Amino acid sequence: MPTLQDVAREAGVSKMTVSNVLNGRRDRVSPATIARVMEVVTRLGYVPNASARSLSARRSNIVALAFPSRDAGGVTPMTNPHDSLFLSEVEAQVTQAGLYLMAHSVNSVESTAHSLRSWNVDGAIFLGTRADEVAALHTAYDAPMVFVDNHGTSPHISNVGIEDRLGGQLAGRRLIEAGHRRIGFVGPRFDEPGVVRERHAGFVQALTEAGLSLRPEHVVHCDAGFDHAVAAARRVLAAPQRPTAVFATADIIAAGLLKGFVRAGCPVPDQMSIIGFDDLEVARHVSPEITTLHQDIPGKARAAVEVLLTQLAHWPAARSERRVLGVSLVERESVAPPPAS
Amino acid sequence: MPTLQDVAREAGVSKMTVSNVLNGRRDRVSPATIARVMEVVTRLGYVPNASARSLSARRSNIVALAFPSRDAGGVTPMTNPHDSLFLSEVEAQVTQAGLYLMAHSVNSVESTAHSLRSWNVDGAIFLGTRADEVAALHTAYDAPMVFVDNHGTSPHISNVGIEDRLGGQLAGRRLIEAGHRRIGFVGPRFDEPGVVRERHAGFVQALTEAGLSLRPEHVVHCDAGFDHAVAAARRVLAAPQRPTAVFATADIIAAGLLKGFVRAGCPVPDQMSIIGFDDLEVARHVSPEITTLHQDIPGKARAAVEVLLTQLAHWPAARSERRVLGVSLVERESVAPPPAS
């Protein structure tokens, strides 16, 4: 059984350095040395006693990814491709940093704070929290936390997100540029600050710039599930002076609308144009393929882990950090000029 | 700060019982008592020191879900909807049992055994291992392990799977019943024992029962990714005496074939019938919707956690256990009689 001493000798560093690397005190060690030590640890099969280490170093080397449990729309957590792609990349990055990932679905702020404290995780990344939950979590739990896609306004929290508002604006502009004047909006309710509210705001801004307005009867609320969206298509078509195009706040909604429109005898894009959001695989599975706003989900995951590792290295003196990733329009097949009326 | 004593009094049990419940010695405690103790623990916000508990009880209360890292097909791990749905249900069940879930992508048997030992996880569920890796893992790591969809033949391992062979057989029979005589097979290579080999074997069996055979030129290999399958459609169509129907070993392949066939001017199901496997959401997203073999993925996840918990309760005296869940054909829109030639 190799010892700490063996690892130190083989890597040509002090035992203290090996200990610093293994116990997460990595800000004192160069990246090259970290890599060398980890290589030796793996090659020799050195097994630090993690539980003992956790007690002594007050570090568990576990970070948690907290995601929402079954939501209002009845969608099973993590089966949303956005979330599973995000998890996948977080896991890869966390493993590469020599840490462990705990996956934890979140019912409530209280039970989450309880779990995180109980397991002494070093820090946590939160997916899908509401803006108002962030403050409650900060009160209940004192450790590095990074939120994702949270549009709360507190300057004290770390957040990684994307340009949701710009995305909505680009969608609106593209449909206007194609000649549409009656454009609908389909997405979940957005009473709270969040990505849907931002995407809606950007979309309305594009209409306003063009001297248009979003008519209340052209707003159809629909949870982010395929079947919800198939059903929502009928409500779009039943609206007075029905729209000739819609902006859907998620690709899964766009895909469901597409099926609903075609079933109702309204071909896409000849009679109805659609723009989605996220650039998930589903946008390319369907025919016609869906024009959408691309966001870099693995990039967002990498940024979240980076921010968390920076926080860990400087905790408790860490400063909060906000990162915003860009979005871009991906042209596919679901946008055409409005039908001649 | 509530103490163990407080929890015991509130739940009306001894401190030893609370300790047994919290330290995973649950085979000595009735389910009703476990539920009551856990309710009180949550309500009072009792925080056992998990790291200390892990040392004393030799239990970490962590179970790992190990899944393959980036595979040969270049598919990002966990973005496969089968895996993410499985993870989601495992997480829910593990949390309900008062345990924690570590998510861990697997590069190699050695690094996996190393990680599991290092973190002293109580046990692990393995998704997507090759049959030959199982023996190596058993040698390298001595703790409860449950494999999923592994078709290795060792009687000493616990496995949860589905009736893959029957699924292939039902697919073959359905296409024959619709009148097809030239039926192709599209799926990943299957040199090793595994689900693809089983599905293929059942499919061939159905053909043989009907006095048909699977021609080598009607077998097209294709990794389980959408774009791979779009490209594979051309190879199916280019085969001599091309088939009038295909069985695809996964819905994502079926969806890609559908797009590839339609692009090449071969409408589905008028000129080509398709049956998929898994009954994932993608089978319903596309048009026509794909006829497929349903498997109960959340049920498989629940069974895997149950088997693991039974192993944990009786370790090291636990006996291995195998469970096989059924499959059923789901009729949709991608099967029709062969075109009149």
Chain B CB contacts of A92 under 8 Å are 69, 105
Question: Which candidate from B79, B85, B282 shows the least CB-CB separation from A76?
Answer: B85
Asked if B42 lies within 8 A of A285 by C-beta distance, the reply is no
> What integer is the mean pLDDT of A331-341?
94
CA–CA distance, A28 with A20 (Å, rounded to integer): 8
Chain A CB contacts of B2 under 8 Å are none
Residue A183, classified by CB atoms within 10 Å of its CB into exposed (0-12), middle (13-18) or buried (19+), is: buried
Identify the band that residue A1 occupies on the pLDDT scale cut at 50, 70 and 90.
Answer: low
Strand partners, B126: B66, B147
Percent of chain A beyond pLDDT 70? 91
The per-residue pLDDT for range B322-341, each reduced to its tens digit, is 999 999 999 999 999 999 86
Asked if B119 lies within 8 A of A50 by C-beta distance, the reply is yes
Which H or E run contains A321?
none
- In angstroms, the separation between the Cα of residue B104 and the nearest Cα of chain A is 7
Chain B CB contacts of A79 under 8 Å are 81, 84-85, 88, 281
Asked if A101 lies within 8 A of B101 by C-beta distance, the reply is no
Q: What is the DSSP letter of B28?
A: G
CATH C-level class of A62-162+299-327? alpha beta
- The length of chain A in residues reads 341
The more confidently predicted of residues B267 and B81 is: B267
- Name the residue with tokens 């085969």: B239
Residue A25's pLDDT is what?
67
**CA angle, corner A92, sides to B67 and B129, nearest 5?**
15
Identify the band that residue A19 occupies on the pLDDT scale cut at 50, 70 and 90.
Answer: confident
- In angstroms, the separation between the Cα of residue B134 and the nearest Cα of chain A is 20
- In angstroms, the separation between the Cα of residue A206 and the nearest Cα of chain B is 30
Residue B72's pLDDT is what?
47
Chain A CB contacts of B117 under 8 Å are 47
Helix (H, G, I), strand (E, B) or coil at B295: strand
CA pseudo-torsion sign A241, A245, A247, A248 = positive
CA distances from residue A309 to A24, A54, A99 in whole angstroms, order as listed: 10, 17, 10
Report the side by side order of strands in the sheet with A245-248.
Answer: A219-221, A183-187, A245-248, A273-278, A291-295, A327-330
pLDDT at A51 over 60: no
The residues, any chain, with a CB within 8 Å of residue B108's CB and separated by 6 or more, are none
The more confidently predicted of residues B99 and B39 is: B99
> What integer is the mean pLDDT of B217-239?
96
Tokens standing for B192? 């090793």
Helix (H, G, I), strand (E, B) or coil at B132: helix
Which residue from B208, B200, B259, B250 is spatially nearest to B225, judged by alpha carbons?
A: B250
In A, minimum Cα distance to B56 occurs at A51
Which H or E run contains A229?
helix A226-238
**Contacts across the A-B interface (CB distance below 8 Å):** 142
In A, minimum Cα distance to B43 occurs at A111
In B, minimum Cα distance to A69 occurs at B92
pLDDT at B50 over 70: no
Residue A53's pLDDT is what?
46
Which residue of B22, B59, B65, B78 is the best one to mutate when testing the A interface, meaning the one whose CB has the most A CBs within 10 A? B78
- In angstroms, the separation between the Cα of residue B310 and the nearest Cα of chain A is 22
Asked if A100 lies within 8 A of B79 by C-beta distance, the reply is no
- Name the residue with tokens 């040969």: B72
8 Å CB contact between B217 and B184: no
pLDDT at A323 over 50: yes
Task: Please give the full DSSP string across A168-223, using - where no structure is assigned.
Answer: HHHHHHHHHHTT-SSEEEEE---SSSSHHHHHHHHHHHHHHHTT----GGGEEE--
In A, minimum Cα distance to B229 occurs at A285
Residue B173's pLDDT is what?
98
pLDDT at B49 over 70: no
Residue B54's pLDDT is what?
47
The more confidently predicted of residues A58 and B250 is: B250
Tokens standing for B94? 């593990």
Helix (H, G, I), strand (E, B) or coil at A269: coil
Q: Per residue in B33-56, is it b (16+ CB within 10 Å) or e — as a string? A: bbebbbebbeeeebebebbebbbe
- For this complex, say whether ipTM is above 0.85: no
Tokens standing for B16? 């030893």
Chain B CB contacts of A84 under 8 Å are 78-79, 81, 83-84, 87
Which residue from B149, B156, B143, B3 is spatially nearest to B62, judged by alpha carbons?
A: B143
CATH C-level class of A4-57? mainly alpha
pLDDT at B159 over 90: yes
Rounded to 10 degrees, the C-alpha dihedral B62/B65/B68/B74 comes to: -110
The per-residue pLDDT for range B178-209, each reduced to its tens digit, is 999 999 999 999 988 999 999 999 999 999 99
Tokens standing for A191? 């009473």
pLDDT at A50 over 60: no
Question: Which candidate from A45, A88, A118 shows the least CB-CB separation from B79?
Answer: A88
Tokens standing for A219? 């707003």
Residue B218's pLDDT is what?
98
In B, minimum Cα distance to A256 occurs at B285
Asked if B47 lies within 8 A of A85 by C-beta distance, the reply is no
Question: Which candidate from A51, A69, A259 shows the least CB-CB separation from B287?
Answer: A259
Asked if B91 lies within 8 A of A77 by C-beta distance, the reply is yes
Question: Which candidate from B45, B54, B102 shows the least CB-CB separation from A101?
Answer: B102
pLDDT at A316 over 60: yes
Question: Which candidate from A45, A89, A103 shows the least CB-CB separation from B91?
Answer: A103
Q: Looking at domain A164-295, does it have CATH number 2.60.40.290?
A: no
The more confidently predicted of residues A341 and B263 is: B263
Tokens standing for A248? 């859907």
CA–CA distance, B341 with B216 (Å, rounded to integer): 22
Chain B CB contacts of A301 under 8 Å are none
The full set of domain ranges for chain A reads 4-57, 62-162+299-327, 164-295
β-pair type (A100-106, B100-106): antiparallel
In B, minimum Cα distance to A44 occurs at B114
- In angstroms, the separation between the Cα of residue B128 and the nearest Cα of chain A is 15
Chain A CB contacts of B65 under 8 Å are 103
Residue B26's pLDDT is what?
67
**CATH number of B62-162+297-325: 3.40.50.300, 3.40.50.2300, 3.60.21.10, 3.30.565.10?**
3.40.50.2300
Question: Which candidate from A50, A101, A284 shows the least CB-CB separation from B120?
Answer: A50
Chain B CB contacts of A285 under 8 Å are 226, 255, 259, 282, 285-286
Identify the band that residue A52 occupies on the pLDDT scale cut at 50, 70 and 90.
Answer: very low
- In angstroms, the separation between the Cα of residue A181 and the nearest Cα of chain B is 29
Tokens standing for A33? 């040395």
Question: Which candidate from B110, B119, B285 shows the least CB-CB separation from A286?
Answer: B285
> What integer is the mean pLDDT of A98-127?
82
Identify the band that residue A185 occupies on the pLDDT scale cut at 50, 70 and 90.
Answer: very high
> What integer is the mean pLDDT of B296-301?
96
Asked if B42 lies within 8 A of A69 by C-beta distance, the reply is no
The per-residue pLDDT for range B119-138, each reduced to its tens digit, is 778 999 999 887 778 878 87
- In angstroms, the separation between the Cα of residue B85 and the nearest Cα of chain A is 5
CA–CA distance, A252 with A274 (Å, rounded to integer): 12
Asked if B100 lies within 8 A of A100 by C-beta distance, the reply is no
In A, minimum Cα distance to B94 occurs at A104
